[in-house]
Amino acid sequence: MKTLIIIRHAKAEQGFGKDIERKLTDRGQRNAAKMAALLKEKGYRIDRIFSSNSERTMQTTRIFAEVLRIPGSHIRYFESLYLADVLGITETIEWLREGENIQTLAIVGHNPGVTNFVNDLTHAGLEGLPTSGVAVMEVVMDDWSNFDAAEKRLVETFSPKD
C-alpha cells in the first residue's frame, strides 16, 4: 500500500505579470503552513514531493517542506505539472523508478488538473480542491511502477476552512 497526497497550491496574487510567475499572498503562505502542520499532526510522512515549476507551487512546496522537514534533495520540480491534466499528472508519477523505496508521494499542482485527477481515479465527486486543499489517497500496490493499474481510494480531504 502506498499513499499519494495531492496538494493544490496556496492562494496566489491576481493579475500581476505572467501566470507562471504569480506569487503567494500572505494568506496563502499562512494557509500552506496550516495545511502542512495538519498533515504532520495527522502523522503523514512525505518521502518525495513532485511540484509544478510555477512560482506559486514552488513556494507552496517550500512551505510544506519546511514544516514537514523534507530535505531539498527529496523535491523535484516538473514543467510537465504546470497546468497538467490527469494524464500529465499520471505520467509524472510514473517517472518514479521501479524499486524506489517511496511510501508517500506528494504532488503539488493546479486546478482543474488536481481535482480532475482525484475524481477520475477515485470517483470521489469533489467539486473543486480549494487553494491549499489536500486530498489523501491510498494506492493498492507494492511499487510505483504499477500505479496506472492499481486500485485507488480517497482517504480524506481537508482545506484551510475546515
Q: 6 and 109 in contact (C-beta within 8 Å)?
A: yes
Percentage with pLDDT > 90 across the chain: 90
Query: Beta strand pairing status for 104-109 and 2-8?
Result: parallel
- C-alpha cell of residue 45: 510522512
Torsion of CA 135, 117, 45, 3, to 10 degrees: 110
Per-residue pLDDT, averaged over 113-132, amounts to: 97
Query: Beta strand pairing status for 75-78 and 104-109?
Result: unpaired
Q: What integer best gives the mean pLDDT of the chain?
A: 95
Cα separation, 57 vs 24, in Å, equals 9
pLDDT of residue 129: 97
pLDDT of residue 160: 95
Per-residue pLDDT, averaged over 124-137, amounts to: 97
Q: 3 and 139 in contact (C-beta within 8 Å)?
A: yes
Per-residue pLDDT band at 98 (split at 50, 70, 90)? low
Q: Which of 65, 66, 112 is nearest to 89 (CA)?
A: 112
pLDDT of residue 99: 63
pLDDT tens sequence across 132-152: 999 999 999 998 988 999 999
Per-residue pLDDT, averaged over 12-31, amounts to: 93
Cα separation, 56 vs 21, in Å, equals 7
* pLDDT greater than 90 at residue 100: no
- Mean pLDDT check: name the lowest of 80-84, 94-98, 129-133, 135-139: 94-98
pLDDT of residue 17: 82
Per-residue pLDDT band at 97 (split at 50, 70, 90)? confident
Per-residue pLDDT, averaged over 113-125, amounts to: 97
- Per the annotation, does 8 bind a ligand? no
Answer left, alpha or beta for residue 107, where phi above 0 means left and psi between -120 and 50 means alpha. Answer: beta
Q: 93 and 107 in contact (C-beta within 8 Å)?
A: yes
pLDDT of residue 162: 80
Query: Per CATH, the architecture of 2-158 is what?
Result: 3-Layer(aba) Sandwich (3.40)
